[in-house]
Structure 1
Amino acid sequence: MLSAAQNDLITRITPGKPAGNLLRRYWQPAALAVELEGARPIRPVRLLGQDLVLFRDEAGQLGLLDRDCPHRNADLAFGRLEDGGLRCPFHGWLFDRNGHCLQTPAEPKGSRLCKNIRQKSYPVVERSGIIFAYLGEGEPPEFPALDCFLAPEPYVFAFKGLIECNWLQALEVGMDPAHASFLHRFFEDEKQDAAYGRQFRATSADSEIPMTQVLREFPCPDISVESMDYGLRIIALREINEQKTHVRVTNVLFPQAFVIPLSGTMTITQWHVPIDDTSCYWYAIFTSFDQPVDKETMRDQRLKLYTLPDYRPRIGRFNDYGFDPYEQAHQTYTGMGEDINVHDQWAIESQGRIQDRTREHLGQTDKAIIAFRRLLMTAIRQVEEGEKPIMVLDGEQAMSMRGPATMDGVGPTRAWQEYWRNVDQRRRVGAPWACSDTVREG
């Protein structure tokens, strides 16, 4: 249980707040690359409580500026892409992607006003279908050489979805292995030909047992948490019998992502990115280790649940998350359909816009959440004291980071440690793109 002051410390992320200062030390997902496709590649972005405009100029280069024009504060998200930059429709002031004022055409001939105007701009880069932004001061950190960034374009797929609650409670659901046996429980298992791209539907590695069956029949995992140089590794063991144990290895990638297995050949790296204090987007990169991703299928699956252009859920608080009492009695534990994103959304949004952690009572299954909160508070303190927190990487550190390893499989009960590492190594050796070196231990 936290105090109210501690809860505020780790949840509030607007400019000047301690957690906001921390998150501004890292690259943040700002948009999907596909959002800038089409005839007018301009998008309003609200990120960490700041209003911004993201665009590609006529040369295809990315720019991210404060959204209010420095002349009379009109909205640059309605601007015109022309003459090498973004032009405000109010008086025609023109800005390039670095925030330089190029023209003030309504000013008298010979005016030098433009020379003294600079719109705040921010570094932006595109990685694996996501456009990342750096909102902090000074030089941004280097990108770690993770699987989701090393994999070539055909082997990755990116998507996102809106969540109407604080970023931290959205992130914490991903570091809780026990909840899947209840929140995502299905009373019947599907055939494997329908499992592609769907969480907990495929069989575990080295087994014919669907993950849904494992979660349903073995609901009390033995959970361990290890500190790593990237954050935390979480291992959940569900002993099937004296010979076989289900092993699931997931990771928390500091400060706000987790890396989990989708299937024996695909992983998910998912960030929970604050829009402001009371809403966030999840951004996910699906990384395949065997075949190129069937992006059309993956996108169609997800667009059944989210509407464009803002990636709002079709099922949510506004329609009781599709709750059906008959379904709850006969088909799913929640009665909220078969997509686990809906289940998660109900769980975290029902905690309130910002969870009141003064009222919670944590148990043994919450040990990863406890460890992460400690890590988060330590990093906030380090930034306040002028120190460098975890995962603010230089070039050498970034290139040496791999993985992180993740898997879901059924192996020998007495030798599960060696087993899960062998499964990860086997997948890497067989991948057409991945480094076959063993993922370095933190």
Structure 2
Amino acid sequence: MISQQQNDLITRIGPVDPAGKLMRAYWQPAALIDELDGPRPVKAVKLLGEHFVLFRDEAGRYGLMDRDCPHRGADLAFGRLENGGLRCAFHGWLFDANGNCLETPAEPIGSNLCRNVKQRAFPVVERSGILWAYLGAGEPPAFPELDCFVAPDAYTFAFKGLIECNWLQALEVGIDPAHASFLHRFFEDEDTAQSYGKQFRGASADSDLPMTRILREYDRPIINVERTEYGLRLIALRQIDEERTHVRVTNQLFPHGFVIPMSTEMTITQWHVPVDDTHCYWYAVFTSYARPVDKQTMREQRLQLYELPHYTSRRNKANDYGFDPHEQATETYTGMGVDINVHDQWAVESMGPIQDRTREHLGQSDKAIIQYRRLLRQEIEKAVAGDKPLLVLDQAHARSIQGPATMDGIGPTRGWETYWMEVDVKRRRGAPWAAPVPAEIAAKVPHLSAAE
């Protein structure tokens, strides 16, 4: 249980809020590249509580600027792409991707007004199907060499979805290993051969046990949490019998991401990006270590739930998330269908726009959430003091963060500590692209290190 002041500190992300200052120290997903496809690559974007316009000019340069024209405040999201920039439809003022005013056509010939006008603009880069923006001061940080950024385009797929609640409660469901045994419980197991693109529907590594059965029958995991250079590592252990234990390794990627196994061949790197204090988008990059991603199938699967152009869920508060009491009694624990995104959305949106943490009672299974909040407060203090927070890297240190390692498999009850590392290393070494083995992991499995 925390105070209201503490809850406000770790949830509110406006420009003057302490957590907002922290968030502005990092690159933030602003849109999927797909969202600028089409004849008019201009999009209104709300990010960290501020309104922007994102566009791609005729030369292919990306720009992100304040949405209100500095002339008289008209909406630049309705502007025209022409003459090397974005032109306001009100009086024709033209701005390039860096916010420079190029023309003020209604002014007299020879006017110097344009030289004194500059729209606030921000750097934008493309990484793994996502357009990232840096809203902070000074030079942007380097991107860590995460698998999702290192893998070739053919081996990644990006998507997103809107959640109508504060970013923190959306993130915290992803670092809660215990909830999957209940929220995502299925009373019958599907054919694991049909699990492509679906979370918790395949079989765990080194077994033919479907994840749905493991989660259903072993609902009291032992949870270990470790501090890392990038955030936290979570290891959830579900003992099958004296010889076998299910091991699931996931990671919290500071400040608002996580990296989790989706299947034996694919991981999900996901960020919970604040739109404002009461809405967020999840952005995910699915990374394959075995074969090129079937992007068409992955996209079609997700468009069954999410509607364009805003990537809103068809199952939501307005229709009770599709709740069916008969299904709840006979098929799924929630009665809300088989898409776990709906389950997660219901859980976090049902807490309210900003969860009132002054009323909660945490237990042993919440240890990752407790440690993350402690870490978040610590890094907010650094940002406010002007110090460099966790995972704000310069180019010289970008390679210091690789991976991180994840896995989901059935290993030995005695010896699981190295088993999960071996599984991760073998998957990386067998990948058709150069998936780096994190130095920390390679050092702990020296019998595999020699093969590198």
TM range, normalised to the smaller chain?
over 0.9
- 2:130 alignment counterpart: 130
Query: In the aligned structure 2, how far is the partner of 1:365 from the partner of 1:403?
Result: 26
Task: Kindly indicate whether the alpha-carbon contact (under 8 Å) linking 2:273 and 2:282 is maintained by their aligned counterparts in 1.
Answer: yes
Query: In the aligned structure 1, how far is the partner of 2:151 from the partner of 2:439?
Result: 15
Q: SS state of the match for residue 414, structure 2?
A: helix
- 1:81 alignment counterpart: 81
- 1:222 alignment counterpart: 222
Query: In the aligned structure 1, how far is the partner of 2:417 from the partner of 2:122?
Result: 44
Q: Where does the alignment leave 5 or more consecutive residues of structure 2 unmatched? A: 444-452
Q: SS state of the match for residue 138, structure 2?
A: coil
Which moves more between the two structures, 393-402 or 20-29? Answer: 393-402
Query: In the aligned structure 2, how far is the partner of 1:155 from the partner of 1:65?
Result: 31
Task: Kindly indicate whether the alpha-carbon contact (under 8 Å) linking 1:238 and 1:247 is maintained by their aligned counterparts in 2.
Answer: yes
Please list the CA deviations of residues 380-406 of structure 1 after superposition, one character each: whole Å capped at 9, or x if unmatched. 111111211111101122122110000
Which residue identity lines up with residue 332 of structure 1 in the other structure? Answer: T
Cα deviation for residue 436 of structure 1 reads 4.9
Task: Kindly indicate whether the alpha-carbon contact (under 8 Å) linking 1:403 and 1:439 is maintained by their aligned counterparts in 2.
Answer: no
Query: In the aligned structure 2, how far is the partner of 1:416 from the partner of 1:171?
Result: 27
The within-5 A match list for 1:359-378 is: 359-378=359-378
Task: Kindly indicate whether the alpha-carbon contact (under 8 Å) linking 1:237 and 1:248 is maintained by their aligned counterparts in 2.
Answer: yes
Instruction: Tell me how large the CA RMSD over aligned residues is.
Output: 0.9
Query: In the aligned structure 2, how far is the partner of 1:167 from the partner of 1:434?
Result: 33
**1:204 and 2:204 correspond:** yes
Which residue identity lines up with residue 242 of structure 1 in the other structure? Answer: E
Q: SS state of the match for residue 142, structure 1?
A: coil
Q: SS state of the match for residue 97, structure 1?
A: coil
Query: In the aligned structure 2, how far is the partner of 1:293 from the partner of 1:67?
Result: 36
Q: SS state of the match for residue 282, structure 1?
A: strand
Query: In the aligned structure 1, how far is the partner of 2:351 from the partner of 2:290?
Result: 39
Which residue identity lines up with residue 197 of structure 2 in the other structure? Answer: G
**1:45 and 2:42 correspond:** no
- 2:450 alignment counterpart: none
Task: Kindly indicate whether the alpha-carbon contact (under 8 Å) linking 2:226 and 2:232 is maintained by their aligned counterparts in 1.
Answer: yes
Query: In the aligned structure 2, how far is the partner of 1:60 from the partner of 1:6?
Result: 44
- 1:309 alignment counterpart: 309
The within-5 A match list for 1:116-195 is: 116-195=116-195
Cα deviation for residue 438 of structure 1 reads 4.5
In the superposition, the TM-score normalised over structure 1's length comes to 0.99
Q: SS state of the match for residue 237, structure 1?
A: strand
Query: In the aligned structure 2, how far is the partner of 1:258 from the partner of 1:436?
Result: 18
Q: Where does the alignment leave 5 or more consecutive residues of structure 1 unmatched? A: none
Query: In the aligned structure 2, how far is the partner of 1:163 from the partner of 1:369?
Result: 19
Query: In the aligned structure 2, how far is the partner of 1:165 from the partner of 1:173?
Result: 12
Which residue identity lines up with residue 54 of structure 2 in the other structure? Answer: L
Q: SS state of the match for residue 332, structure 2?
A: coil
Query: In the aligned structure 2, how far is the partner of 1:67 from the partner of 1:436?
Result: 40
**1:427 and 2:451 correspond:** no
- 1:106 alignment counterpart: 106
Task: Kindly indicate whether the alpha-carbon contact (under 8 Å) linking 1:162 and 1:282 is maintained by their aligned counterparts in 2.
Answer: yes
Query: In the aligned structure 2, how far is the partner of 1:163 from the partner of 1:14?
Result: 18
Q: SS state of the match for residue 63, structure 2?
A: strand
Which residue identity lines up with residue 125 of structure 2 in the other structure? Answer: V
Task: Kindly indicate whether the alpha-carbon contact (under 8 Å) linking 2:401 and 2:438 is maintained by their aligned counterparts in 1.
Answer: no
Q: Which 4+ runs in 1 deviate beyond 6 A?
A: none
- 1:3 alignment counterpart: 3
- 1:350 alignment counterpart: 350
Cα deviation for residue 435 of structure 1 reads 3.2
Query: In the aligned structure 1, how far is the partner of 2:414 from the partner of 2:405?
Result: 21
Task: Kindly indicate whether the alpha-carbon contact (under 8 Å) linking 1:32 and 1:131 is maintained by their aligned counterparts in 2.
Answer: yes
Counting aligned pairs with the same residue, the percent is 69
